[in-house]
A and B are shown apart, each in its own frame.
Chain A
Amino acid sequence: MCTEHDSLPTTTSRRGFLFKLGLALNAIAAALVGIPAIGYILGPVRRSAGQEWIKLGVVGSFPEGQTRLATYENPFRVAWDGPTAKIACWVRRVGGEQFQVFAVNCAHLGCPVRWFPQSRLFMCPCHGGAYYEDGSRASGPPPRGLFEYEYQVRDGQLWVRGGQLPTLAGPV
């Protein structure tokens, strides 16, 4: 009797069937828990880039020939974002309705670049990347120029398309 219990289930017996049923049901249960869990964890990964048109302010608030810091609220914010909901960008009004809007994130490793109007350079405090006023790379480790927002001027307002962290894989 005892040996019968301990022996591995054979293919034909009822016990063998029950054993296999147990394995199969558990595998199904694991999949039914695991697949939604993985889907949930990977939920933030979407094919379309998280971007939306955002109003930065009236065109008149950006003096011609100057570069100013502008801030906006991340369009994908949640109620508990706190101060991190605010995002900054550098707005350069080249002239008239011609703009350049740069992400503050350095193209090297994402540190915040600072604008120096006297020397007309952006400098990064982390590894010393520097950019000219048109955003092109001046020196240091950045592999490219500053990330630039797509912009529009509508009804005297400056709009930019943004909402995601600019990196080499997904610029603004």
Chain B
Amino acid sequence: MPRGTRALESIARWFEERTGVTQALAPVMAHPVPRRTASWWYVFGSATLALFALQIATGICLALVYVPSADQAYQSLRYLNDQAALGWFLRAVHFWGSNAMVLVMTLHMIQVFLWGAYKYPRELTWIVGVFLFLCTLGMAFTGQILRWDQDAYWGLGIGASIAARAPVIGSAIVHALLGGPIIAGRTLSRFFAVHVFLVPGILIGLIGLHLWLVLRLGVNEWPMPGRVVDRETYRKRYEEEVHKDGVPFFPVAARKDMVGMSVVILAVLACAAFFGPYGPNGAPDPTITDASPRPDFYFLSLFALMALLPPWTETAILLVGMPLAIVLLLAVPLIAPAGEKSWRRRPVAVLSVVLIVLVVTTLATLGVRSPWSPIMDAGTALATPVAYVQGRTPLQLQGALVVQNKQCRNCHSLGGEGGSRGPALDGVATRLTRDQLIRQVIQGGGNMPAYGTNLTPAEVNALVAFLETLRPVNQSPARAPVTARPATR
């Protein structure tokens, strides 16, 4: 044996004699797990843990430079992006790592739900997991605030507006959240403390508990249809099977975990290197009113929901629906603590997952496009397509000017360009008659403001004359509904 190896070995022995770490950890690492759980489906939990470690490491690096002060945070982020050696890369890894952590954690949650892992005796593991998920979303939101740009400033405004809807204590919650009466310096300090000390501390504690429970109760066996969970017999049967047909966690199951962990980390690093850091987008100056704030992807579905819900249901959904959804998530193992584990025999569970995933991704996709948002600069940025002004009379051309100048295209598109809050104006003449057009412009309705006091009669006249030309040549204009005439004489 070479001398170097021998020296290393004696150092290791010296430490082992004093700490006993290997002796304590070896049986933990080698504890038997059900053979079939050494599967690729079981890697999401450890991958999430790896991402958390990555977030801590990169977070500490960023804290070396970041200034958690409202007057300098933005500049320190710009410094990280543009000047600090590899600052851009660390910021990018932290950003993509946070996205990946939310994503992989969600996959882990879906997997353990479909595999019935939350059932007896692992109910508490699930409940702790839900808190881990909520804390992670909390980290995502507070992290977005630390970016201290326009999105952060107005995102705080949105958070405060939601909190303010709570009856009686709404105002108190807002002031406690903001650390003062308004979004300013004290707000950022508060969110910094929450993001860097409070929630990570809670997360580390909860992860410890989560892992302890996994070790103590064993990795959930691969569910087989017909093998139902019975409180009386489950643990005994599990122990027997694991001892008869188990494999040591390390290295048999851990091999796939290790590959999974490194794959997600490498994917994050690749995204970071390729796409770079995100933001900060615009200085957090509240007097710049031409901001169009957007949340990060994990809150896009909520953003979309707030645009699409009937306004009168919003407060109820925010104050009752959201907490109820969280309680329901926590109560999953208490609602179905025993019985079938296999997803093949749990159609309601499978359909719930499909439904929730479809709803959230649909809302998030809509959130990216946000068709309900007016295009705020359409009046000046978009040209009227030439085809829509060719061969028009002077009056109709005046109307085209009205469409352009009165910001109609903030909400209505013309030739495929413009907002989609209202219907496209192409072909509007096939849907509405002259009288209906006048009524719609003057009185509004159907989510359109009334322009009666904002347009002169001459402008309305010109506008409607132009709108009447907006129909394909081969389609006839809209006709007034035929009303039955009284059969007199």
Interface residues of A (CB under 8 A from B): 41-42, 44-46, 49-51, 69, 71, 74, 76-88, 104-105, 108-114, 116, 118-121, 123-128, 130, 132-133, 138-143, 163-165, 167-170
Interface pair B158/A110, CB less than 8 Å apart: yes
The docked-state distance in angstroms from the alpha carbon of A164 to that of B172 is 12
The docked-state distance in angstroms from the alpha carbon of A142 to that of B160 is 15
B78 within 8 A of A: no
The docked-state distance in angstroms from the alpha carbon of A79 to that of B186 is 10
Of A83, A120, A139, the residue contacting B71 (CB under 8 A) is: A83
Interface residues of B (CB under 8 A from A): 69-74, 153-154, 157-158, 160-166, 170-176, 178-187, 283-287, 289-293, 303, 306-307, 309, 311, 314-315, 372-374, 376, 379, 405-408, 410-411, 421, 444, 447-451, 453-454
- The answer to whether residues A74 and B174 also contact, given A104-B286, A126-B293, A128-B374 and a CB cut-off of 8 A, is no
Interface pair A86/B174, CB less than 8 Å apart: no
Q: How near does chain B come to A72, taking the closest CB pair, in angstroms?
A: 9
Interface pair B447/A140, CB less than 8 Å apart: yes
CB-CB under 8 A from A69, the residues of chain B are 287, 289
Of B164, B170, B171, B178, the residue contacting A49 (CB under 8 A) is: B171
Known: A83-B74, A123-B376, A167-B160. 12 other contacts (CB 8 A): A82-B73, A82-B74, A84-B187, A110-B154, A126-B373, A127-B372, A141-B314, A142-B311, A165-B183, A168-B161, A169-B171, A170-B174
Interface pair A46/B444, CB less than 8 Å apart: no
The 10 A-B pairs of least Cβ separation, nearest first, read A82-B71, A50-B181, A169-B170, A110-B157, A167-B164, A138-B449, A164-B181, A169-B164, A127-B307, A169-B171
- The answer to whether residues A78 and B164 also contact, given A69-B287, A138-B449 and a CB cut-off of 8 A, is no
CB-CB under 8 A from B450, the residues of chain A are 138
Interface pair A81/B181, CB less than 8 Å apart: no
The docked-state distance in angstroms from the alpha carbon of A163 to that of B154 is 17
- 5 interchain pairs (CB within 8 A)? A49-B171, A118-B406, A120-B454, A168-B164, A168-B170
Q: How near does chain A come to B453, taking the closest CB pair, in angstroms?
A: 8
Interface pair A128/B307, CB less than 8 Å apart: yes
Of B161, B170, B174, B449, the residue contacting A130 (CB under 8 A) is: B449
Interface pair A78/B175, CB less than 8 Å apart: no
The docked-state distance in angstroms from the alpha carbon of A9 to that of B172 is 45
The docked-state distance in angstroms from the alpha carbon of A113 to that of B286 is 11
Q: How near does chain A come to B341, taking the closest CB pair, in angstroms?
A: 42
Interface pair B379/A105, CB less than 8 Å apart: no
Q: How near does chain A come to B278, taking the closest CB pair, in angstroms?
A: 19
Interface pair A74/B184, CB less than 8 Å apart: yes
The docked-state distance in angstroms from the alpha carbon of A142 to that of B306 is 10
Interface pair B174/A112, CB less than 8 Å apart: no
Interface pair B376/A87, CB less than 8 Å apart: no
Q: Count chain A CB atoms within 10 A of each CB in B154, B162, B164, B449 and give the residue with the most.
A: B449
Interface pair A167/B286, CB less than 8 Å apart: no
CB-CB under 8 A from B183, the residues of chain A are 84, 165
Interface pair B448/A139, CB less than 8 Å apart: yes
Q: How near does chain A come to B433, taking the closest CB pair, in angstroms?
A: 23
- The answer to whether residues A170 and B157 also contact, given A44-B176, A49-B171, A139-B447 and a CB cut-off of 8 A, is no
The docked-state distance in angstroms from the alpha carbon of A138 to that of B475 is 33
CB-CB under 8 A from A71, the residues of chain B are 287
CB-CB under 8 A from A168, the residues of chain B are 161, 164-165, 170
Q: Count chain A CB atoms within 10 A of each CB in B72, B374, B407 and give the residue with the most.
A: B374
CB-CB under 8 A from A141, the residues of chain B are 306-307, 309, 311, 314
Q: How near does chain B come to A23, taking the closest CB pair, in angstroms?
A: 24
The docked-state distance in angstroms from the alpha carbon of A170 to that of B169 is 11
- The answer to whether residues A110 and B406 also contact, given A86-B286, A121-B454, A132-B449 and a CB cut-off of 8 A, is no
The docked-state distance in angstroms from the alpha carbon of A126 to that of B162 is 14
Interface pair B158/A109, CB less than 8 Å apart: yes
Q: How near does chain B come to A172, taking the closest CB pair, in angstroms?
A: 10
Q: How near does chain A come to B186, taking the closest CB pair, in angstroms?
A: 7
CB-CB under 8 A from A169, the residues of chain B are 164-166, 170-171, 173-174
Interface pair A84/B284, CB less than 8 Å apart: yes
Of A46, A118, A165, the residue contacting B407 (CB under 8 A) is: A118
- The answer to whether residues A87 and B286 also contact, given A111-B154, A140-B447 and a CB cut-off of 8 A, is yes
- The answer to whether residues A84 and B153 also contact, given A139-B448, A165-B182 and a CB cut-off of 8 A, is yes
Interface pair B69/A80, CB less than 8 Å apart: yes
Determine the residue in chain A with the shortest Cβ distance to B162.
A109
